[in-house]
Structure 1
Amino acid sequence: MIAIRPRGGWVRPVVLACLVMTVTSGCGLSAELDRERDPARTAVPFPAPSAVGTDGSAGLRIEPPELPSSAPSPSPSGAVAGRQGSGCPASGLRFGTGPVDAAMGLRAVTLTLTNCGKRPYAVDGYPDVVAVLGPEGARITGVRAVAGTDQVPMAPPDPGAKAFTLRPGERARAGLYWRMAAEEGSYLRVAPRAGQAVVTLPLPDPLDIGPRNTLGATAWVPAG
């Protein structure tokens, strides 16, 4: 190899060879100068960029977008009576139901009324079932709610209405009876008696009652 002496001094042959072969061999002048300065390779390489700063603080990050929470499911219109064990409504009266009892096509469920307020409540007559609602809150058409059980085949006799007082903490109960049908009800629109405020009562078990069916109610009696 012939050495070339430029104006600033001699350039080693290996440097000239590196310049000539840069494209084909990948060798660069900076690499050769690094080898000249640090032949033992003792220099520590520069750290790669990090998303976390040297003081432990977070650097630039791209966070995934926050997804909106699911919208609440629609509920039937009107006030909703608390389930058993919930807080006391402003009326001081809380409705509840037991599980549905089924036998030979006859269905029955116990309706309860608890005085969770601070004043006695006079009970006399039958619960007023205004409507039976489906899972989406639509009224099941053709369902007739009646006082007494005479119009429900195989239902037990109604004891009849007797007045009594429901003191704070006490409960009354009434029976609801119907014959099995295809459409299922998930809510009752009910009042303690006709003319009082109506609430929407969620049911723990569906009422397979409609359409075009009869729901018979017995009179309120003390639950003991």
Structure 2
Amino acid sequence: MIAIRLRSTCGAALVGVLALATSGCGLSAELDREANPERKPTPSETRAAPPPVSASPSPSVSVQPVSGCPSSGLRFAVGPIDGAMGLRAMTLSMTNCGEQPQELNGYPSVSVLDETGTPIPGVRTAEGTDEVPVAPPDSAPEPFTLGPGETARAGLLWRMAAEDGTYLRVAPDKERDFVNVRPEDPLDIGPENILGTTPWAPAS
């Protein structure tokens, strides 16, 4: 019975040197009793937690603020992507959140950017949908005034490809300042493709 208890207490001792291990374990226990006669638990060593591993920051791309009205007085939004038989379509909305009316006559200015904010090579934006295979025809642009609080819409159409576009750089037309917006779903437009646009029209 003594040998069994000793093996349990000194489990780290090697077989064949049980007597030496017993002596060593007894001496260690005696030293512990002298150093800590009240048998208070010895506090465990506290180690500082390792610093968190930070992921590489993604490239910074300036985008439209999530709330408020931009200084231009115009706020853009993009709707979900509809797809059928390889044709993709998405709505681009523009709301006059300012106090001045905005004159519109024509097509939006749009570019497709990758995750770094760089235009995807070869993706060309066209006014109209004639260059997008199987896309429905678009109507001719008509001038109108977008009053405060009103919204205009335009359509974006393209054929499915492999590479995704992360951001859209949009403006009311080619003469005005642009802003970057991030669609909820990426645009699978790929390189060497055409993005067709329909003209601005008042939202019904």
Q: TM-score range by the shorter chain?
A: 0.7 to 0.9
| Cα deviation code 1:21-62 (max 9, x no counterpart) | xxxx98xxxxxxxxxxxxxxxxxx7795998xxxxxxxxx76
Pairing 1:144–2:127 present: no
Query: 1:200: Cα distance to partner?
Result: 1.2
Report the counterpart of residue 156 of structure 2 in structure 1.
176
Whether the 8 Å contact between 1:191 and 1:199 is mirrored in structure 2 is yes
Q: 1:120 to 1:153 in 2, by over 3 A?
A: same
Determine the C-alpha separation between the residues in 2 that align with 1:135 and 1:66.
Answer: 28
Whether the 8 Å contact between 2:159 and 2:189 is mirrored in structure 1 is yes
Whether the 8 Å contact between 1:82 and 1:94 is mirrored in structure 2 is no
Determine the C-alpha separation between the residues in 1 that align with 2:70 and 2:180.
Answer: 12
Task: Work out which of the residue numbers 80, 88, 91 in structure 1 matches 2:63.
Answer: 80
Percent of paired sites with the same residue: 55
Determine the C-alpha separation between the residues in 2 that align with 1:144 and 1:191.
Answer: 16
SS of aligned partner of 2:188? strand
SS of aligned partner of 2:175? coil
| Cα deviation code 1:69-100 (max 9, x no counterpart) | 66643233xx42245xx221111111110011
Pairing 1:113–2:94 present: yes
SS of aligned partner of 1:90? coil
Q: 1:166 to 1:105 in 2, by over 3 A?
A: same
Pairing 1:196–2:176 present: yes
RMSD of aligned residue pairs (Cα, Å): 2.6
Task: Work out which of the residue numbers 103, 106, 121 in structure 2 matches 1:125.
Answer: 106
Bigger RCO of structures 1 and 2 (CA < 8 A, at least 6 apart): 2
Determine the C-alpha separation between the residues in 2 that align with 1:213 and 1:69.
Answer: 37
The AA in structure 1 aligned to 2:115 is P
Determine the C-alpha separation between the residues in 1 that align with 2:147 and 2:168.
Answer: 25
**Structure 2 unmatched ranges of 5 or more:** 1-25, 28-36
Whether the 8 Å contact between 1:141 and 1:212 is mirrored in structure 2 is yes
Query: 1:210: Cα distance to partner?
Result: 1.7
The structure number with the bigger radius of gyration is 1
Report the counterpart of residue 155 of structure 1 in structure 2.
135
Determine the C-alpha separation between the residues in 1 that align with 2:70 and 2:151.
Answer: 15
**Structure 1 unmatched ranges of 5 or more:** 1-24, 27-44, 52-60
| Cα deviation code 1:119-157 (max 9, x no counterpart) | 21111111011x211233332101110111111111111
Q: 1:72 to 1:157 in 2, by over 3 A?
A: same
Whether the 8 Å contact between 1:82 and 1:95 is mirrored in structure 2 is no
Provide the TM-score with structure 2 as the length reference.
Answer: 0.73
Aligned residues: 171
The AA in structure 2 aligned to 1:214 is I
Provide the TM-score with structure 1 as the length reference.
Answer: 0.67
Q: 1:63 to 1:217 in 2, by over 3 A?
A: same
Whether the 8 Å contact between 2:59 and 2:115 is mirrored in structure 1 is no
